[in-house]
A = this chain, B = another copy of it.
C-alpha cells in the first residue's frame, strides 16, 4: 500500500463518518435518453391525492409507519417533509438533498398516497370507522394497522426503490417503519381484462370507472378511506382444484372473467338463472355472489396487487378505497366471512385501514387541510 493510498483511505473514512461536504448541482445530472413513452409523470398537487383514481401502476410498495409521538407537531413536520419529497420525485426530479439524484429522473407514473390511521384520525377529530373483527380473519401482528400509510406506486422498480428509500430516510426521525408490503400487477397493456390475481381470477370487475362513479362511490369531498388486507392463498390445496371447481367457487369463467351466466367480463350476472336440474348457475355461496353488494352505492374501488414473497407466501394485497368503509366494505366482508366457498383457500393475515386526506395545493403539504 502506498502512503498516498493510506492517506486517502483516511479521507474517505472521514467522509463516511463526518458527512462530507461537496454536493452536485442539477447541471451534473445526466440526461436520460431514450426514456420509454410510458415514463410519464402523474400530477402530485391537486384537491385529491393521486394513486386512487390513477390507473394502477405495475408495482406498489405499501409502507406502514407509526409516529414516535402522535402529536400535531410531529405529524405536521412529517407531512411537510414527505409531501415535499413526493412532489419532486413524482415529477422525475430529485428530492432535496437527494443522495442518488440520478435515480429520480424516470418517474414511471410514480404516485405517493398518504393515509392516516385510527390514532391520527382521533388526534385530528376525523371520522374513520372502527374495523370490526371478521371471524375468518387470521391476523398476524406484523401486518397490523399503523398510524400512517404510504402507498407508493410506480411502473419502474428502480425508481420505486429509490423513492421508498428517500421517504423512509426523511420519515426516520419522526416515525418507525412497521412493515413494507410489496405487490405487482400485469404488465400494462398485457391484458384487455381487469387484473388477474395469482389464483387466476380476474379481479376488480365491478370497480367504478367513470369520474361520476368515483364521485359517487370513492370520494367524500376530497378524501376517501382505504383498507389494506393481506390475503394469503393456500396454493398447495388450491392447485388441486380443477377449472370447473375454481369457476364454481368464484362464480365466473376463468378465461374471460365473465359471470357463469354471461359471455363478457362486464356482463351483469344473473343470479336467478338455473340449470336443467334447477340449481342456480351461479352458486349462492360463490365468491362473486357473496362479495357483491346489490344495494346502490355498495360498490367500492378494488385497487390491489399480487404479492409473492420468496419464502413468505403469496397472495393478494387487497387495497380497497371507499367513501365509507363501514357502509361499503364491511357488509361485503361480513357476507364473505359468513359464507364463501373461497374461504377454504384464502386467509386474511393482515388488516389496516386509513383515512386518505385531501391532496396538497402547490407549495403545500398533504394533510394541511385536516390539520388546520
Which residue in B33, B106, B339 is a CB contact (below 8 Å) of A1? B339
Contacts A12-B344, A186-B158, A283-B8; A240 near B165 (Cβ below 8 A): no
Which partner residue on chain B sits nearest A253 by CB separation? B28
Residues of B close to A240: CB separation below 8 A: 15-20
Nearest CB in chain B to that of A6: its residue: B285
Q: Are B156 and A102 in contact (CB under 8 A)?
A: no
- Let me know if B184 and A161 touch, CB within 8 A: yes
Which chain B positions have C-beta within 8 A of A308?
Answer: 161, 164
Q: How far is the CA of A35 from the CA of B28 in the complex (A)?
A: 37
Q: Mark A240-283, 1 if CB is under 8 A from B, else 0.
A: 11111100110001111100000000000000000000011001
Known: A12-B241, A179-B310, A245-B12. A36 touches B187 (CB 8 A): yes
A134 in the interface, Cβ–Cβ < 8 Å?
Answer: no
Contact A285-B255, Cβ < 8 Å, known A158-B196, A187-B36, A241-B20: no
- A113 CB, min distance to chain B CBs, angstroms: 18
- The answer to whether A9 and B191 touch (CB under 8 A), given A255-B28, A344-B16, is no
Tell me the bound Cα distance from A364 to B317 in angstroms: 39
A interface: dominant SS: loop
Asked if A106 and B8 make an inter-chain contact with CB atoms under 8 angstroms apart, the answer reads no
Query: At the interface, yes or no: A232 with Cβ under 8 Å from chain B?
Result: no
Residue of B nearest to A158 (CB): B186
Which residues of B lie under 8 Å from residue A8 when comparing CB positions?
A: 248, 279, 283, 285, 341
Evaluate contact between B20 and A245: CB separation under 8 angstroms: yes
- By a CB distance below 8 angstroms, the chain B residues around A283 are 5, 8
State which of B39, B106, B169 has its C-beta within 8 Å of the C-beta of A239: B169
Cross-chain contact of A165 among B4, B18, B235 (Cβ < 8 A):
B235
- Of A17, A155, A198, A241, chain B has the most CB atoms within 10 Å of the CB of A241
Q: Could you tell me the distance in whole angstroms from the C-beta of A164 to the nearest C-beta in chain B?
A: 8
**A255 contacts B24, CB within 8 Å?**
yes
Question: A158 near B179 (CB under 8 angstroms)?
Answer: no
Interface code A182-197, partner B: CB below 8 Å = 1, 0 otherwise?
Answer: 1011111111110010
Q: Is A187 a contact partner of B5 (Cβ separation < 8 A)? A: no
- A355, B30: Cα distance in complex, Å: 38
Q: Taking the nearest CB of chain B, how far is it from the CB of A345, in angstroms?
A: 7
What is the interface of chain A, defined by CB distance below 8 A to chain B? Answer: 1-2, 4-5, 8-9, 11-13, 15-24, 28-30, 32-36, 39, 58-59, 61, 99-100, 102-103, 106, 108, 155-159, 161-162, 164-165, 169, 179-182, 184-193, 196, 198-200, 235, 237-245, 248-249, 253-257, 279-280, 283-285, 306, 308-311, 314, 339, 341, 344-345
Q: Which 3 A-B pairs have the closest CB atoms?
A: A180-B310, A15-B245, A157-B184
Known: A8-B279, A22-B245. 14 other contacts (CB 8 A): A5-B285, A16-B344, A20-B241, A20-B245, A35-B191, A39-B190, A58-B157, A99-B200, A103-B196, A106-B187, A158-B185, A159-B190, A165-B314, A182-B310
**28 A/B residue pairs, CB under 8 Å, sorted by A:** A2-B284, A8-B285, A12-B241, A12-B245, A12-B341, A16-B238, A16-B345, A17-B237, A20-B240, A20-B244, A23-B243, A24-B254, A28-B255, A34-B191, A39-B187, A39-B190, A58-B157, A61-B310, A99-B239, A103-B196, A103-B198, A157-B185, A161-B306, A164-B308, A169-B239, A179-B311, A180-B311, A309-B310
